[in-house]
Amino acid sequence: MNIRRRLLYAILALTTMTSIAVTGYQVLGGPTVTFLQSLYMAVITLAGVGYGEIIDTSHNPALRVFNMFVVAVGVMITVYVFSVVTAFLVEGEIRNLFWRRTMQKRIQELKDHYIVCGLGDTGRYAVEEFHRTSTPFLVIENHEDNVTRFKEHESGRYKEILYVIGDATEESVLDAAGLDRAKCVIAAVASDKDNLVTTVMVRQKNPNVRIVARCADVKFADRMLRAGANTAVSPNAIGGLRLASEAMRPHVTSFLDLMLREKSRTLRIDEIVVAGTSPWVGKSLDDLKFHASYHLQPLAVKTSTGEHKHDFMVNPPDTLALQGGTVLIVMGDVEEIRRARHDAHHTPHLHAPASSPASTS
């Protein structure tokens, strides 16, 4: 049970027992017993401090039996309350202290990570995707209560989420999030104006980082791009396109939903960049034994040279020679994509074909 809930139940039990004791002392003690005397008697009895009885029970058997009941039950409740309060103060504070120190160290070690500004209705879905694909990220959020609620709502899945409390438009907060080492920043707070300011600040501090900005008003999209964002995304526009897709091509959208919602596997459409120094340069997909080695399906290729540079070649042939700057759009499991991306920058694993994950399950 959650420590906060245990504390609430303990306080409720103690309050209930105190009320029962006060009422019993007044009813059984007679008209001469005042409320203050009953309350004082209840407190010293429940606390077990050992003071003398201010309400005489020696000549009232019913009152003495009731007092024994209060002592027996009250002591158990009091001990439980003290244990829960101690656990709440000691465990909670120590855990928070150690976690904050650990979190600061992990944030300082982050590199090529993603920064999500805002843990609202939009940012939380980006966080879920990064978490499911084991992508390094952290969150910038104005209020720590929002982070706490998100962690509690998700049943502990995000208990070790990295975050920085502060305003994403402030330079010190961006520095604390490791902006100089980040790969991408997602500006996803509720206000379009704040996202615009965040975009300007991020672009000024890191000219090379990729910026994806949320804009509820489509009219802000052009401002975001002029301010330095690489892409401006409108949830309303995306929602409209999704509605049209559901109406016209329901099986396609069901397949895409399956990729995102299937928990047993993380099937995704992703990209692999072939740099100029890559060992893949000059080799074809057939030379790399791409299908057999990585179990990935190439969907398209984008080249930076040739007659059709910057255009996508859909369903590329296996004989296509890869050049520096080529971007492969592939579909497959994220672990296989990660392995292929590693091999594209290092010595490739031209091993014998392994059984696919689907066939071994």
- CA distances to 226, 274, 290, 310 from 314, in Å: 31, 17, 16, 13
End-to-end, the C-alpha distance of the chain in Å comes to 35
Assigned CATH topology for domain 110-233: Rossmann fold (3.40.50)
Q: Are 184 and 157 within 8 A, CB to CB?
A: no
Range(s) for CATH 1.10.287 in the chain? 3-103
Which residues are CB-neighbours of 88 under 8 A, at least 6 positions away?
Answer: 3, 4, 6, 7
* pLDDT score at 356: 40
Comparing C-alpha atoms, which of 104, 108, 105, 124 is closest to residue 116? 124
Neighbours of 170 (CB within 10 A): 14
What's the CATH number for 266-354? 3.30.70.1450
Pick the CATH number of 3-103 from 3.30.200, 1.20.120, 1.10.287, 3.40.50: 1.10.287
Whether pTM > 0.85 for this model: the answer is no
Alpha helices by DSSP H, listed for the chain, are 3-29, 35-47, 61-109, 123-132, 144-153, 171-176, 192-205, 220-227, 235-248, 250-261, 290-294, 334-345, 357-360
Per-residue pLDDT in tens (0 to 9) along the chain, 361 residues: 566 778 888 889 889 988 998 998 888 888 888 888 888 888 888 877 766 777 777 778 888 888 888 888 888 888 888 888 887 776 666 667 677 888 999 999 999 999 999 998 899 999 988 998 889 999 999 998 888 888 877 666 787 889 999 999 999 999 999 999 999 999 999 999 999 999 999 999 999 999 999 998 888 899 999 999 999 999 888 889 889 999 999 988 888 887 776 666 678 889 999 988 899 999 999 999 888 999 999 999 988 765 555 678 899 999 988 988 899 999 998 889 999 999 998 754 444 444 443 333 3
* pLDDT score at 191: 92
Range(s) for CATH 3.30.70.1450 in the chain? 266-354
Measured in degrees and rounded to the nearest 5, phi and psi for residue 322 equal -85, 140
β-pairing verdict for 297-302 and 312-314: antiparallel
Q: Are 81 and 14 within 8 A, CB to CB?
A: yes
